[in-house]
Amino acid sequence: MTETFGKRLAGAVAARGPLCAGIDPHPGLLKAWNLPVDARGLEKFALTATEAIAGEVSVVKPQSAFFEAFGAAGVAVLERVVRLAKEAGALVLLDVKRGDIGSTMAAYTAAYLAAGAELEADAITVSPYLGFGSLAPALETASAGGKGLFVLARTSNPEAQSLQNAVLGNGKTVAQGIVDAAAEVNAGAEPYGSVGVVVGATIAAGELDLGALNGPVLAPGFGAQGATAADLRKLFGPGPNGVLPASSRDILKHGPGVDALRAAVKRTQMSLVSVNDPQENG
């Protein structure tokens, strides 16, 4: 039987810690590295960053949009990043935020999670805002192949608050409804399920009840967006299973030197030591 993503993620975090390192070839970062903002600069940036970081962390998260912006050449670089990160022993969470219905959602999922796909990742980000049920093709593909999903629930961007904190007829917020739907899929899984949620590290404490989720939490907003390790502990508690603080620019700004990038990763990891420390959870 195929090992679940939840089990693989738990093992990776135990071995390398909870940090999820983003590979975001933002034009501003390419310029900061004195690289041209074209496919050649993208390739140099992305491969250098991946080679420096992927062997140090449990999860690497390439942001697909920054590769897609360069067309077919950019997607070809993304394929190389995915392969390189896997070869270095990291799980690949491809940040694509796809969300659609029926056969279209199935096609998106096949592109990123199907065995043998050129962009085959270990997990992807998905949007549930056509209804959580619209994710059924992705849920089925992920479950069958031991892959994971991270569903947008309460994101860190200010524009999201009015929608994601809107109150439904049952008295719950939209975001809480998404968390609860993910929890239903994860029920009974050990050590936790394969359907995670995306919850910004900069939101207010108490907005969401994650107690029944039994799945991983991707927490963007850590580092460059202002959230600290102390904020993570305040928001998620001391040592919750499966919380993946995500940092990209705060690490990548230290390039292009490989040693400087790895040192930035180490500093970030040290700041997170107690976030997922089970000794602080009991």
Domains of the chain: 5-168+183-205+212-273 (3.20.20.70)
97 classed as catalytic: yes
How would residue 241 be classed by pLDDT, with cut points 50, 70 and 90?
low
Average pLDDT of 66-78?
Answer: 98
State the pLDDT confidence band at 223, using cuts at 50, 70 and 90: low
For the segment 215-240, the average pLDDT, to the nearest whole number, is 78
pLDDT range class, residue 276, cuts 50, 70, 90: very low
Judged against a pLDDT cut of 50, whether residue 281 lies above it is answered with no
Q: What is the mean pLDDT of residues 84-95?
A: 98
pLDDT for 135 beyond 50: yes
At 243-270, the pLDDT tens digits run 999 999 999 999 999 999 999 999 999 9
- What string of DSSP letters covers the chain? -PPPHHHHHHHHHHHH-S-EEEE---HHHHHHTT--SSHHHHHHHHHHHHHHHTTT-SEEEEBHHHHHTTHHHHHHHHHHHHHHHHHTT-EEEEEEEE---HHHHHHHHHHHHSTT-TT--SEEEE--TT-GGGGHHHHHHHHHHT-EEEEEEE-SSGGGHHHHT-B-TTS-BHHHHHHHHHHHHHTT-SS--SEEEEE-TTSPTTS---TT--S-EEETTBSTTSB-HHHHHHHH-SS-TTEEEEESHHHHTT-S-HHHHHHHHHHHHHHTTTTT-GGG--
Mean pLDDT for the stretch of residues 162-190: 97
pTM for this model (two decimals): 0.94
Local confidence band at 273 (pLDDT 50, 70, 90 cut-offs):
confident
The single residue of 86, 97, 234, 253 carrying the catalytic annotation is: 97
